[in-house]
Amino acid sequence: MEEQININEQQQGQEESKGKYLLKLFVYLLFGLSGLVGFVIAGLWIKFKTKISKKSKLIALVIGLVLSFVLPYGTDLYTDIKYPETKKVKDALNQQFPDGHTSVGVSWSKSWRSGEEPITIRGLGVEFKSKEFISGDEMIKMGKSVCSVLTAEGKVFDGVAIRNSKSPIYPFSIPFVSFYFDASGTCERWNDPQFAQQISSLGDILR
């Protein structure tokens, strides 16, 4: 009986050790997903601090880094195919604002009103990554350009959101170092002079 108890305790210890090992692999995968900065930090940790399972941890880290490039590309490709207007928006903004990187996505949400069927709200989101914040006037110009492309394509969205992400080590992002500011509204709002003045003032403060 005592031997059986010892065997059970050993099995439990092995299971706990295996669970901790898998958790560590997952953490390294997340570091890889965070991009090159996370990859370098975790890679140095593996090289100088890790004593066991270095190879498997490095593999998890590399897989995460590869996925950090593949997943956004796959998402962009899917969006471009399903919503061709998003590619035209992206191309137009990349031409007008070459000192940054533009990505475009489409989102949905449901709105319920008492006694009515839920309404699907579709929005178009633009993220512009740059080393420094763009001005409020440039953000308004960006919003108007998006709406111009959508109008030319005959596409209507319930809202257009513009986010400017600033990173001192652009094109990479680091938590607590990278910042952003954004604005959203209908195309009517983006073309409203009063809204333009508000965004312009906000942009001046941030810069």
pLDDT of the residue at 23: 87
Q: What is the band of 1 on the pLDDT scale with cuts at 50, 70, 90?
A: very low
DSSP-assigned beta bridge partners for residue 180: 165
Of 62, 69, 21, the closest CA to residue 40 belongs to 62
Six-digit token string for 193: 């002079």
pLDDT of residue 49: 81
Distance CA 64, CA 42 (A): 11
How many angstroms separate the most distant Cα atoms in the chain?
83
- Under the banding of pLDDT at 50, 70 and 90, the label for residue 172 is low
Query: In whole angstroms, what is the distance from residue 132 CA to residue 97 CA?
Result: 13
Q: Assess contact for 161 and 124: CB atoms under 8 A.
A: yes
Is the entire prediction scored with pTM above 0.85?
no
| Burial (CB count <10 Å: 0-12, 13-18, 19+), residue 70 | exposed
